[in-house]
Chains A and B, each alone.
Chain A
Amino acid sequence: MLSYVLAGLGLGAIYAIASVSLVVTYVASGIFNLAFAAMAFAGARFFYFLNTESGWGILPAALVTLLLFAPALGIALYGLLFRHLRLRSPLVKIVATIGVSVALPPLIDLVFGKLAQVTAPGLAPRPLSVLRPFGAVVNMDQVTTYIGLAVVLGLGTAVLRFTDVGLKVRALVDSEALTSLSGTSPTRVSVGVWAASSSLAALAGVLIAPTAGVSMEGMTALMAAAFSAVVAARLRSQPIAVVVALLMGVATTVVQRYLDPESTLAANLVPSVPFAFMLVFLVYYAIRGQAGDSSTGGALDRAIRPEGGDPALIPSRPRAGRGLLTVGTVATVVFLVVVAILPAVFDVYWTGLAAAGIALSIALLSYTLVTGEGGMVWLCQITFAGFGAILTAELSSTYGWPPLLAVFVGSVFVVPIGVLLGVLTIRLGNLYIALVTLTFGLLAQTLVFTQDPFYNFGAGTAVSRPEFAMDNAAFAYVALGAFLLIGLLILNLRRSTAGLAMTAVRWSENGSRTLGISVVQTKVLISGLATYVAAVGGGFLALNFQSSLPDSFNPFIGLVWLAVLVTNGARSIMAALAAGLLFYLMPGLFQTFLPSELAEVPILLFGIGAILLAKNPDGVIAMNRRKIAELSERWRKPQDTGPGPEPASPPDESREPVATVGEERPVTTGGRA
């Protein structure tokens, strides 16, 4: 028994280090570091490079990794990205950190080479020596995790409690504005915090490598477990996070004592332990109403923080007169025509990619609904899509339903899952929703997608396309039709009373309540609809590949989906189509025309796109549309207003060229000046 507890403490210690890293950056900078797994992976990979591949000793390799490489990585990321995120909305913060987690691993692979064999030594010398205290068995790897946690906690507490640097960090946590008024630069303190937190991520990565491997999967599982501890700590309390992390580690190993390690039950139960912890704490906090979005900083910080984002951006003026022939509609029509021509001119291979892209864009529309309309960051849409794919395959192959019927009716069965998740998370803040849905996705991946009869060695269940759409081109048109149908429904929904209620809830839940709008009803409606759309999209993906391919619905790929979509624009329907096509056509281009070493570059670019969101929070499509509108404004102005510019008088609204479609405009506080 003691052996199990000691092994559990080892695992828990790593969870604890990870959760300390997450909590520190969250309280000090207001950013929840979803790139943690990627940073841990980078650290572990670099250590592996020095220690195993370059033959350095453990100590120098560890010192260089933890004290030079990791802090440098943290500082670089802070300089490139995190410092721009301070004033951004929670969605942009989350997506930009997702961008890092998507872009960093391929970058590391490009630099250090992709590992075929992921198991790696840790910080203990090999071969592993074993200690036997009180008849229990502990290996040196576990001992190093105890030492690691002890050093982190001891050093961290000492620095935070007794030094000037620690005082400044705690002051920054209390109030950034007041810190700067006191003559301490918040930027310099933040740089230090990110360097330290990156070091912790690397330490956790190096320590988990012997058991989970130097892989993004292993690191993501570590991060998901740490999420549970962080949720239990309500994102803020270090001691609670550490204790819960240790308990989770012990619970995970002790459970194994009573199970046959070879049984599927054991294989399923172990990854579920952190999720069970998270669920318990969530329900507890939700009942007590304590899991709202905690705002960082004090009253002064809130007073000088503008609601709508960067105060330097002046939003474009509402345009008068929405005629049919606006720049926006013209662009939309042109884009649709181009997409419609694609299957006719491409050969079979490229048409297949385009069809996959269109099918994916249906699934992406669910983000447009839940994130764009509902303002909630759900990270498990891909899981719903996966359910849709599996159901479509089962219904059409096993029960002989017609394929399209299987897609549209089968998806109905997924809706209750989404609604249930929606109801569970309704009272939670945005960040909690993101964490819960991501963990749910990971859990579904382990418990459902990789299990037989659905898994079938990764091939999934075969599906056949409808008879009239057997070839790629015909299927692409069917998918495009479905996309347009759902897109029109969403457009219509936006203009309906229910859509207005969604917009109201997105901007202010309390304000909506005072109007008599039911927040619960509205959010349930959105989550149900979004779940349905995601499942339909998954069904079409299955039809496209003529198999359910459960591996392709990994939540990590879901992060890439979200990154691509939000880069294009979270609220535009055409952006979903563009994102879907981009997701499949760009890797196609790379595979066809560039050497195979660059195969991961598209993922890297998708991640970088999401990172760039920090500077252009509306996405590329909206940005380009704005640029085009500006251009056309400049071009039309001389003709309309005639000679003699009048800079002092406000521009006449009726003469403004009708340019942007109303929905894409960012809204900030306050009226027009």
Chain B
Amino acid sequence: MTTSPLLSVRDLTVRYGAAQALFGISFEMPQNSALAVLGPNGAGKSTLARAVSGLVASSGGEVRLDDRDITKLSPTAIRRAGMVHLPEGRGIFPGLTVQENLRMALVVEKSAREGALDRAFEIFPVLGKRRRQQAGTLSGGEQQMLSLARALMVSPRLIIADEMSLGLAPLLVDVVFESLARARAAGVSVLMIEQFASRALAFSDHCLILQRGRVAWSGATDQAGDELLRGYLGEAAAA
């Protein structure tokens, strides 16, 4: 295994027209690690995720995955380089069936197709029961499972999970964290954007707090005490 960081972001800048969303973000993720990205609404967390995965173009800075420059690559090429971005909201194709959704996720890894589908249905048996159903008609939790399955049934280098627990019942939030823990156990790194700050911190090794498009604090999660979180995120978030 190489000693270079898995993901290295340097001076990343993103703007939407006249509005600048990210101002020179820099951080590194070591190999086989988990990073929690926290911050209030509008801090730029999702923009950071989208810029790293290539969905929105950056206007400055550099992103490297496994020491390879991926700043200017298309999302397609970045996916092929081993990064899976599970976007905010329901990251599924609502018009396709469950099975077709999973097939789309396997486009990159053709050889593993049969085994991978079985693995997905093993992790989330409910998807197996609904394999011919249109994904748009699944419940919110099932849609999120489908989204997770797209990442868990393949073996990427890095999963970016953007607000996977948003709007889910507590039991299903547990499912999300268990699933991501399963990926960690398999040696997959996870960059997690979360509203449940304490759960995210318990899950991760490192933490990055964004505020108004800038890095407000970063460090190991065991140093991120309640005081700090309260200061940056407010009472509710630290709970």
Q: Which residues of A come within 8 Å of B, CB atoms?
A: 164, 167-168, 170-171, 173-175, 177-186, 298-300, 303-304, 306, 308-309, 311-315, 668-673
Contact = CB atoms under 8 A, between A and B. Distances in A.
Given A175-B93, A178-B91, A300-B89, A183 B79 contact: yes
Given A668-B17, A670-B19, A673-B15, A304 B56 contact: yes
27 contacts: A167-B103, A171-B93, A171-B96, A174-B95, A174-B96, A180-B74, A180-B76, A181-B84, A181-B85, A181-B87, A182-B108, A183-B107, A183-B108, A298-B94, A299-B89, A299-B90, A300-B55, A300-B88, A303-B88, A304-B56, A306-B17, A312-B57, A669-B16, A670-B19, A671-B18, A672-B19, A673-B20
B92 interface: yes
Nearest to A668: B17
B200 interface: no
Given A167-B96, A304-B56, A311-B16, A182 B150 contact: yes
Contact of A311 (B57, B87, B88, B108): B57
Contact of A167 (B50, B74, B100, B150): B100
A171 B105 CA distance: 11
B94 to A, nearest CB: 6
A173 B53 contact: no
Nearest first, the 5 closest Cβ-Cβ pairs linking A and B are A670-B19, A668-B17, A183-B108, A183-B79, A180-B75
B216 interface: no
B228 interface: no
A605 B20 CA distance: 38
A184 B104 contact: yes
Interface residues of B, number: 38
Nearest to B87: A300
Contacts of A304: 50, 55-56
Contacts of B10: none
B80 interface: yes
A184 B76 contact: yes
A173 B56 CA distance: 20
Contacts, number: 113
Given A167-B100, A672-B19, 11 more contacts: A170-B100, A177-B75, A178-B92, A180-B74, A180-B79, A181-B84, A181-B91, A183-B80, A306-B17, A311-B17, A673-B18
B104 A167 contact: yes
Contacts of B94: 174, 298
A670 B79 contact: no
B7 to A, nearest CB: 16
Contacts of B53: 181
B55 A177 contact: yes
B91 A170 contact: no
B17 A308 contact: yes
A182 B107 contact: yes
A173 B19 CA distance: 29
A348 B96 CA distance: 67
Interface string B58-100: 0100000000000000111001100011011111111110001
Nearest to B110: A164
Contact of A170 (B17, B96, B108): B96
A177 B90 CA distance: 12
A314 B55 contact: no
Contacts of B15: 311, 314, 673
Contact of B17 (A171, A303, A314): A314
A185 B79 CA distance: 10
Contacts of B75: 177, 180-181
Contacts of B91: 178, 181, 300
